Amino acid sequence: MDIRQEIEQLRKELEYHNDRYYNQDDPEISDYEYDQLSLRLRTLEKEHPELADSNSPTQKVGGKAKREAGVLVKHNVPMLSLQDVFEKEEVYSFVEKIKKERSDAVFVVEKKIDGLSVSLRYDNGNLIKGVTRGDGVNYGEDVTANVKMIKDVKVKLKDAVPYIEIRGEVYMKNADFAAVNEKLEAEGKKLFANPRNCSAGTLRQLDPEVVKERKLSLFVFNVQDVSGITFRTHSESLEWLKNQGIKVIEGYRLCRSADEVWEAICEIGESRGNLPYDIDGAVVKVDNLEDREYFGTTSKVPKWAIAYKYPPEEKETVVKEIRLSVGRTGRITPTAIFEPIRLCGTNVERATLHNQDRINELDVRIGDTIIVRKAGEIIPEVLSVVKSKRPEGTVPYHISSTCPSCGAATIRDENTADTRCTNLNCPAQLSQHIINFVGRNAMDIKGFGEAYIEVLIKEGYIKDIADIYYLKNYRDELIEKGLIGKEKNTDKLLKAIEDSKSNDLDRLITGLGIKNIGKQAGAELKKHFRSMHDLMNATYEELVAINDVGDISARAIVEFFSSEVNKNILERLEQAGMNFYSSQDSIADQRFAGQTFVITGTLPSMGRSEMEELVKQHGGKVAGSVSKKTTFVITGENAGSKLTKAQELGIPVLSEEDMLKKISE
């Protein structure tokens, strides 16, 4: 592609990943991968100023205020991002540029906490408002009730200054994060990917008690605005805040030269593994507040500060064994088990090797010395083998031709690098299959955690998904043995199982575990088949003609329903009272059938998810990106690149009011 196309592609990618990170708290790529995309775009835009665009992600703060999370609050002072740098030379260049204008400039170097930014407003010493960063410039979300549940937040200052607004970072200590995920796992719920996601998701909770329970923490790192007291420097303001009992950023250091700044950055980097919380860099700021006013800001970042991002931490260790596990679909995954090492503040002793092709590519063997890092400081991965340290007598590793769980033969998929167990009744597959079936994307049986599933399989109560709906016949036994807890807990789970029988057809389709058929495909199939019986009798030709169902998926569906074992399970599910019919028939108003909508920006009165549900209730489909197939784009405030793309393609644009009028007509 040419330069213009590459720039446009990078902008689209970064807009998408910004939305996942800031608005959905569910990033798809690591911080490091995101930074590389951003760096490439900044470089191209600098080299080709004629292609500059004020709507580029490099010119805007990434998030958007989400109306459904709380009341929107107008920012008194913008909560801007920082310019990221990745090389020592960039740090020196920044310091020298400042020194050229202000030869006596002093710099503050601080840890960059990996969390969620908030501002706290105090009136006469009393906390009156807590606001998230939101879009960083115009609006944030009111989270006052939630921030008051954070023990580090002072609701009353020692000195009753007329007004002060301070900015800090809400984060989670690693131990508190581990406790939250441990509880979620026991409840059978989706785990948070990292402490930052957990902090962001928790702060937006509508129930302040959840915030209190999850033990969020806060570091304050800046005075945004103040009246009744004057500060000359940033460091002076931090010391004043400390005297007020406010927890400010730990261990900041004053520096007077580029060498001192770099030394401080390196010291912080070396301390990463010993901190009880995650950091993703070091911040370098001009200390004098008048100097900050002199240098000013761009639309996105202050010119008087930068954030140095550390490269992913890498360490050597030795492979003790390669362990095989069997997933829900029978896929066998090899995992390297190695001597424990500490990476980014946590102990790590395993990393996936994915498949035989990856093992061959690395040529990793038991006994090898390997280099491990955490991709994006989250997921451990094996980078390479130090072959100069390979002991004598090692042999290449090959995944076994028999299943490690049941001993059945394994096969290598024709079209992928996966190795699979051929036994549909493999115990390991059953466990993962049940976890998928009861999960929130499928039957959503609340409280049916992995621990209960394992014990019920082990005790022989569950041999397939249909057995779940016959557990009520063993209520007294289950209570007596304490397999699900006492009477109250057992009855609660049995009721959740009973309630799930009335779920719509797409949830059951998703839960069956048909290869390549997930939540989206399940919803699409529900639109085309009135009942499970219709789907069971569908031909390959009928299936392949449906959106989101390709050749491989169509064949997998036909193969699944041709199995006598699966037919028997479905028969028992129907006998247990499972809903086999689509609610699609009950939707009389199908005015948007065959039409695709894209929703972008902050809507005046509705959350995006509410609008999405409204579209679906009237037969429409919602997509995440604008294309020639898009019928309408529904826009709100800060619509951004999706609105631009719609205008370029001539796609009709609707406001929230326009959409509601179309529905009421």
Annotation: binding site? 31-35, 81-82, 110, 133, 169, 285, 309, 403, 406, 421, 426
Do residues 394 and 365 make contact, with C-beta atoms less than 8 angstroms apart? yes
Token readout for 77 is 């002072």
User: How far, in Å, CA of 491 to CA of 508, rounded?
Assistant: 23
8-state DSSP, 604:
S
Do residues 47 and 7 make contact, with C-beta atoms less than 8 angstroms apart? no
8-state DSSP, 600:
E
112 is catalytic: yes
CA 363 to chain centre: 32
Collapsing DSSP states into helix, strand and coil, what is residue 598?
Answer: strand
Residue 408 burial by CB count (10 A; 0-12/13-18/19+): exposed, middle or buried?
middle
Pairing of strands 596-600, 632-635: parallel
The phi, psi pair for 623, rounded to 5°, reads: -115, 160
- Specify binding-site residues for Zn(2+): 403, 406, 421, 426
Q: Name the nearest CA neighbour of 341 among 353, 351, 356, 327.
A: 351
Quickly list H helices, 272-330.
Answer: 289-295
Collapsing DSSP states into helix, strand and coil, what is residue 597?
Answer: strand
The phi, psi pair for 312, rounded to 5°, reads: -55, 135
Amino acid (one-letter) located at 315: K
Name the residue with tokens 């001539």: 650
Do residues 345 and 174 make contact, with C-beta atoms less than 8 angstroms apart? yes
User: How far, in Å, CA of 304 to CA of 291, rounded?
Assistant: 8
Buried/exposed 234-260: b ≥16 CB within 10 Å, e otherwise: bbebbebbeebebbbbeebbebeebeb
- Specify binding-site residues for NAD(+): 31-35, 81-82, 110, 133, 169, 285, 309
Do residues 62 and 56 make contact, with C-beta atoms less than 8 angstroms apart? no
User: How far, in Å, CA of 471 to CA of 481, rounded?
Assistant: 14
The phi, psi pair for 348, rounded to 5°, reads: -125, 135
Amino acid (one-letter) located at 36: Q
Token readout for 137 is 């410039």
Q: Which of 64, 111, 112, 645 is catalytic?
A: 112
Instruction: Please report, for the chain, how many H helices and E strands are present, in that order.
Output: 24, 22
Beta pairing partners, 286: 107
Do residues 584 and 527 make contact, with C-beta atoms less than 8 angstroms apart? yes
Do residues 658 and 622 make contact, with C-beta atoms less than 8 angstroms apart? no
Active-site residues, by number, are: 112
